[in-house]
Amino acid sequence: MTNPPGTTTDAIREVRTATQLRDAMVQSLVKFGAAEDPRVVAAFRAVPRHLAMPEVDVTKAYDAEFAAVTKTDPTGVDISSVSAPRVQAMQIEQAQIEPGMNVLEVGSGGPNAAYLAEMVGKEGRVVTMDIDSDVTDRARTFLTATGYENVTVLTADAENGARHHAPFDRIVVTVQAADIPPAWITQLKDGGRLVVPLRMRGLTRTVAFVRDGERLVSDGFDLCGFVPMQGIGENRVQLAVLHDVEGEEVALRLDGHPEPDTRALAEALVMPRATAWSGVTLGGMESNEHLDLWLTTALDNLPLMAAKPGARKRGLVASASPLGVPTLVDGGTFAYRTVRATDAEDRFELGAIGHGPHGQQLAKRLVAEIQIWDREHRGDRARIEVDPAGTPDDRLPAGRHIERRHTRVTITWP
């Protein structure tokens, strides 16, 4: 077979390798349930995502769990990335996109806009926007190179949406948001779907909302992690540092939680541990995302504890997670969720570790809520509702209310 003019053996080999890796990525997405809709599967099989991240090894670019960081701020915080394929597929499944739709993507990068373009087809339209011109330049370059002509790239703060291109059937947000700007609701058709990584008391879930008049009502959510929103809507968590030795840092992530007594908590950190166990177990592959959402619904002062691996290695903490560990705080005492292996293969018992003068008492309190979740809510999914700020209490459902600038977010359980 004669090679096309202008091609080289290396170039052909690279295309074949990328195609094979893309097929393997898609098989992984299907296997783990991230991509179920045949049209989503086809979209992920069609887009050469590696071209959006030429600095990344092609094998890595097609790792279903790999998110490519494309920009950091002066402090080293990641502010732009190409999300992992699994997360992108998960959000697109949540959005339930149909051919011919008008879709807004908040937070650009390139590949995700291409997937959305595949979903809406030639009769549809995708608008992708980002506040950072470096990001939108990369997106334009990628979309031009890959031939997606039904995508409009905008450089603007998404706080105000894209009214000249509205109304939208779907809005897909690919950055962490602590609030929902009014424009995202008013520019969404009634009955339309907004998929957004919403941060609620420190916990981030990508939530599929359906617009019902002036409010949004959840229709499912999943655990996720995204870079934070920039611009007018920026609202980052605050860190309360308890231990600052390099490589062993321990801090609490505050998201509307009371300002803690960091000195007292730092002293508590090095006090002997008090442990309480719940008798409640999880399977090795079973997520604790619904448990954690229950805990933050039920308990008032529950920030997330972030700890570097060195802190766990040294024995300062027993649990460390990139997403943070729910931690109950009361004055100079704190207790956090933990697990231990059981005699049953691949099952772990949930418990709590307490530090400070009342460590045992606080650990038992945390364990009591774990037991309530197991007894009354295991298998349930919370409902998340977003209403405009200023909505009277008597018009909100009973539950945990989270106050933001534009909205009142309510978490309720069956």
Q: What is the pLDDT of residue 116?
A: 98
Q: What is the pLDDT of residue 31?
A: 95
Per residue in 158-179, pLDDT tens? 999 999 999 999 999 999 999 9
Average pLDDT of 303-324? 91
| Burial zone of 85 (CB within 10 Å; 0-12 exposed, 13-18 middle, 19+ buried) | buried
- Domain layout of the chain by residue ranges: 9-233, 238-377
**From residue 284, how far is each of 280, 288, 305, 380 by CA, in Å?**
13, 10, 22, 19
| Strands of the sheet with 215-223, listed across from one edge | 151-155, 125-130, 102-106, 168-173, 188-200, 203-212, 215-223, 383-388, 407-412, 400-403
**From residue 78, how far is each of 72, 125, 325, 336 by CA, in Å?**
4, 29, 20, 27
In angstroms, the CA 237 to CA 140 distance is: 31
Q: What is the pLDDT of residue 4?
A: 44
Query: At residue 5, does pLDDT exceed 60?
Result: no
Q: What is the pLDDT of residue 13?
A: 63
Per residue in 110-157, pLDDT tens? 999 999 999 999 999 999 999 999 999 999 999 999 999 999 999 999
Q: Which residues contact 333 (CB under 8 A, 6 or more apart)?
A: 268, 354, 355, 356, 357, 358, 359, 361, 362
What confidence category does residue 76 fall into, taking pLDDT thresholds of 50, 70 and 90?
A: low
**From residue 60, how far is each of 28, 43, 65 by CA, in Å?**
14, 19, 9
80 is catalytic: no
What confidence category does residue 8 fall into, taking pLDDT thresholds of 50, 70 and 90?
A: low
Kindly report the number of other CB atoms within 10 A of residue 226's CB atom. Answer: 22
Contact 208, 188 (CB under 8 A): no
Of 83, 108, 218, 278, the active-site residue reads 83
Q: What is the pLDDT of residue 2?
A: 38
Query: At residue 6, does pLDDT exceed 70?
Result: no
The domain made up of 9-233 has a fold known as Rossmann fold (3.40.50)
What six digits make up the tokens of 245? Answer: 């030795």
Q: What is the pLDDT of residue 45?
A: 97
Mean pLDDT score of the chain, rounded to an integer?
Answer: 93
Q: What is the pLDDT of residue 3?
A: 44
Beta pairing partners, 81: 69
What six digits make up the tokens of 50? Answer: 């590696």
Contact 297, 413 (CB under 8 A): yes
Beta pairing partners, 325: 305
The phi and psi torsions of 69 (rounded to 5 degrees) equal -75, 125
What confidence category does residue 101 fall into, taking pLDDT thresholds of 50, 70 and 90?
A: very high
In angstroms, the CA 322 to CA 308 distance is: 8
Contact 181, 171 (CB under 8 A): no
Contact 404, 384 (CB under 8 A): no
The percent of residues in the chain predicted with pLDDT above 90, rounded, is: 85
Q: What is the pLDDT of residue 284?
A: 81
Average pLDDT of 55-80? 82
Per residue in 224-254, pLDDT tens? 888 888 999 989 899 999 999 999 999 999 9
Contact 91, 105 (CB under 8 A): no
Cis peptide before 74 (omega within 30 of 0): no
Of 35, 150, 176, 177, which Cα lies nearest the Cα of 94? 35
